[in-house]
Every structure is written in C-alpha cells, then in structure tokens.
Amino acid sequence: MSNISTHEIKSEFLKSKLGLTGIFILSGLILISIITISVIPASTFQEWNNPEKWILYPKTSVPSWVNFLSLDKIPEHKIINAEVFQSQENEIFLTSQQFGVSFEYDDFPSDFIFEMKTKYTDSHLVQIKVIRPDGITLELLSTSLPHSDNETIHNQRYFSTDSMIKKNLNTYKNNFDFDFQVSSTEIIFSELYQNQIQKGNYIFIVDMYGIEKHVEVLESKMVLGGKAYGVMGTDELRRDLAIGLLWGTPLALFIGISVSIGSVVVGLIYGVYSGYKGKKTDEAMMRFNDVIYALPALPFLIILAVTISNSIFLMIGFLMIFSWVGIAKVSRSMSLQIKTRQYIEAAKIMGQKDSKIIFRHILPQLLPYAFASIAISVPAAITTEAGLSFLGLGDPSFPTWGQILHDANTYGAAAQGFWWWIVPPGILIAITGLAFVFIGNALDAIVNPKLKR
C-alpha cells in the first residue's frame, strides 16, 4: 500500500500509452452516446420493436458502403419523390405523378412501394405504368380510389407484390424470352431476351383520372426496395441497424458503469468495515461473502430475470449482487493493513466514531484502488448483460447490442450470411470492454507498484 497523490496518478497515467488509448476509445464512445441522445429522436428506440415504424425500410440489406468495395453494384434502397403534373382534356382531369429512376446496379431491386396521401372527392381512376430504358411501356395496375362524396384525405399504398400487377404483366409474356416464374419486380427491370437486369432510366407514372376534378397530392413517394442501405444495413425486420447500434452505446456504458460503480462502492464499504471491525463481525461478514461468492452467477441471473423481472434497472441490481464480492475481499485485507497504522490508532484513542474513521481515514486511502477496480469490472458487466440479452432475457424496450445479436441468432443470420448483422455488435462490445481494460490496467500498474517491472 502506498500513498499516491491524485496529481502523481495523473502524471503517471498520462505517461501510459495503454491508458491513453483507453481514454481515447472511451471518449469516442461517450461522444457517440451524446450525439445519439441529442440528435436521434428517442422515438426510434422506443419503436425498435414496432414493425409498422420500419415498413419503408428494406429487408436484410447490406451496408451501402459495400458497393465501394465490390465490382457488382448492389441496388441501394431509394426513396423517390414524385413530380406532379396536372392537365385536362374536355371534362377529364388528369393528375400525373412521375418517379424517375436512373438504375445502374447489377442486381434487381427487391420490390417497390408507392405511398401517397391524397385529397379528393368523387371517384378517381388510378393507372400505374412504367416506361423502361428500351422504350417499352408496361401497364402495371388499373384501380380506383375509394369513392367519397365529401372531401377526404386518403392514404394509399401500392405494393409491387400485388397479384394484379403480376396478372397484368402476363399480357406482355410474348415480348419476353424467359419464363415468368420470377417476381414482378424482376420482370419489370429485366432485359427482353433473358432474365437479366436492364440498366438505364426508368419512369414510373401514377395517373389519376377524375371527371372535372383534380386529385390533390399531399405527399407521395416511391420506395424502391434495394439490397443495400445506410451505414450498417438493416435486419430481417427491416430495422436500421445503425440506429440500434448507436442506441446500444449509451445503454452499454450506462449498464457497465452503474454496475461497476455500485458494486465497487458496496464491496469497498463492506470489506473495509469487516476488516476494521475484525473478530466475530469480520468472521460473520466474510462467511456471508463466501456464500455469495460460491453462488453460480449465471444460472441465478437467469432465474431472477425469468421470475422477477427483466427490466434493465433491476438487471443492473442483480448484476451488482454478484460482482461486489471480490472487491470486498481485497479491500478487507487492505483495511487490515491500514488499521494498524498509528494515526488510526490515535484517532481511535481520541474517541472518534468508527464511521468517521472509516470514511475519513481508511476509505480515502483506497480510492486509487477503487478507481482501478471500477474500470476493470466494467467489461464483465457489459458482457454478462449482453449474454443475458443474447439468451432472450433482456429488457425488450431497449435495443442493446446483446439483443441485436439475439435477433440475429433467432433469424439464422449466420446461416444466411448476414455478416453485417453479427459482426458490428460483437466488435462494439469488445471495443467498449477493451477501453475499460486499458484504463484499468494502466491505473492498476500505478496503484500497485508490485506489478511494475
């Protein structure tokens, strides 16, 4: 045990490359957390498990930066806004929405959806067609907006998977030289001679015909479902993984830091008190410590999560139950040494209260050790929580990294080769752990000179 001032610790720490690396990574993670909390609306994580929210996103798409690395360009997910034209011929009024796409990828898009919000009265006919790069026009769908006597605002979605589209496409069968066993999207974007992507400019047109009345288009977009999206891709449930991973950062830091601070504080006070009191108290407290130490942690955490609650805050409490034990043991032996020092004896003779001696004279001595233990015990807390979430026992209202991996495992991401769903969460868990290990080891080397070589 040595008395090191905070100033010495700081200057020693600044000399340690490992410690600085840890601090550097940790500040990066904290920065990400701050940006996430302040920039990304909280509704994104509250609706993480709400499929409705993610319907306009593509399904299991690779991160879009993959296109920079591969020769074959994977179609990116696109949301195209309409250009609206209005015209009239005699009593027929036409509202036309046009979506232009320059399609230069080497694979078919997965699907497309038209989503529009319109204001109208009476009946309107809707015709959807596409003009292809080779000049052929395909009529896709003829339908109508539901009749309404009063002015209404109507939300409508047209899906490429609509069986009517497939039926209409069948009338063009003679133009194509291949079997129509493929999806509508793969026919629309195909060359004539074989089922292969045709690159170029496509124009999708949604015409709405009314009698002496226009349809007012309030919102309109076409979602061209790609196979590449965003920075991190999407999962089977169309969720943007970037958002899940970003929200996971503050959550992991919160879980790790609160568990470790909680357990170090409890362990420290418990151990110091036990060591300071000595005799029977010490014996009883250490036996209790032994009991907790010998409990198999993971089975118990699982039972607690299943029977009591899997709320994230309770989980932090459960994790603390199992992680203060080792710290209590070490701080007990340290306080055994400190209490024999003369100034403690002096304080005792002067009649100071036990609590005052412990908090004023013994605990401050152990602070450097406490900081090192806090840093060292963070990774275990994060991995244990991730492990529980991985087993499906996590708090469903928060998207943690463990839960993303749980979903990946449930949907067979490994079998289907969705690497972008498996790799990033694990790396983030490890990086966060490493940052704290580096800081902890650097602090430990300063606090325990024995390890210095």
Q: Is 314 in the site for other proteins (CB under 8 A)?
A: no
Q: Kindly state whether residue 284 participates in binding other proteins, applying the rule CB under 8 A.
A: no
| CA 406, 410, 412, 413 torsion-angle sign | negative
Is the Cβ of residue 296 or residue 351 nearer to other proteins in the bound state? 296
Between CA 229 and CA 221 the distance in angstroms is 17
Q: Is residue 441 a contact point for other proteins (CB under 8 A)? A: yes
Question: Does residue 306 interact with other proteins by CB under 8 A?
Answer: yes
Amino acid at 82: A
Residues 350-389 that bind other proteins (CB under 8 A): 379, 383, 386-387
In this chain, which of 294, 342, 349, 351 binds other proteins, going by CB under 8 A?
A: 294
Tokens encoding 171: 């009338």
Residue 126 binds to other proteins (criterion: CB under 8 A): no
Q: Are 228 and 67 in contact (CB under 8 A)?
A: yes
**DSSP character string of 46-111:** HTTT-GGGGTTSPSSPBPTTHHHH-SSPPPBPEEEE-EEEEEEETTEEEEEEEEEEEE--SS--SE
List the one residue from 39, 52, 174, 299 that touches other proteins (CB under 8 A).
299
Q: How far is the CB of 233 from other proteins (least distance, A)?
A: 15
Q: Tell me how far, at minimum, the Cβ of 281 lies from other proteins, in Å.
A: 13
Answer whether 77's CB lies under 8 Å from 226's CB. Answer: yes
Among 34, 55, 92, 303, binds other proteins (CB under 8 A): 303
Q: Which residue, 7 or 453, has its beta carbon nearer to other proteins?
A: 453
For 4, 20, 86, 92, 453, the CA distances from 10, given in Å and listed in that order, are 10, 11, 71, 80, 20
The least distance separating other proteins from the CB of residue 295, rounded to whole angstroms, comes to 6
390 binds other proteins (CB under 8 A): yes
**Which listed residue (32, 297, 330, 367) binds other proteins by CB under 8 A?**
297
Shortest distance, position 145 Cβ to other proteins, whole Å: 47
Q: Are 220 and 95 in contact (CB under 8 A)?
A: no
| Residue 298 interacting with other proteins (CB under 8 A) | yes
Q: Tell whether residue 133 is a contact of other proteins (CB under 8 A).
A: no
Cβ-proximal residues to 23 (8 Å cutoff; 6+ apart), any chain: 435, 439
Q: Is 290 in the site for other proteins (CB under 8 A)?
A: yes
The single residue among 302, 314, 330, 367 that binds other proteins, judged by CB under 8 A, is 302
Does 69 bind other proteins (CB under 8 A)? Our answer is no
Q: Is 232 one of the binding residues for other proteins (CB under 8 A)?
A: no
Distance CA 318, CA 237 (A): 31
- Pick between residue 35 and residue 308 the one whose CB is nearest to other proteins: 308
Residue 308 makes contact with other proteins by CB under 8 A:
yes
CA distance 147 to 74: 41
Taking the C-alpha atoms of residue 197 and residue 70, their distance in angstroms, rounded to an integer, is: 17
- How far apart are CB 21 and other proteins at their closest, in Å? 11
Distances (CA, A) of 388 to 329, 391, 393: 26, 5, 5
Q: Which of 94, 98, 422, 448 binds other proteins (CB under 8 A)?
A: 422
287 contacts other proteins (rule: CB under 8 A): yes
**Should residue 230 be labelled a site residue for other proteins when binding is judged by CB under 8 A?**
no
Of 77, 85, 192, 206, nearest to 134 by C-alpha is 192
Rounded CA gap, 115 and 397, in Å? 29
Q: Which residues bind other proteins (CB under 8 A)?
A: 287, 290-291, 294-300, 302-304, 306-308, 336, 379, 383, 386-387, 390-393, 405, 408-409, 413-415, 417, 419, 422-423, 425-426, 429-431, 433-434, 437-438, 441, 453
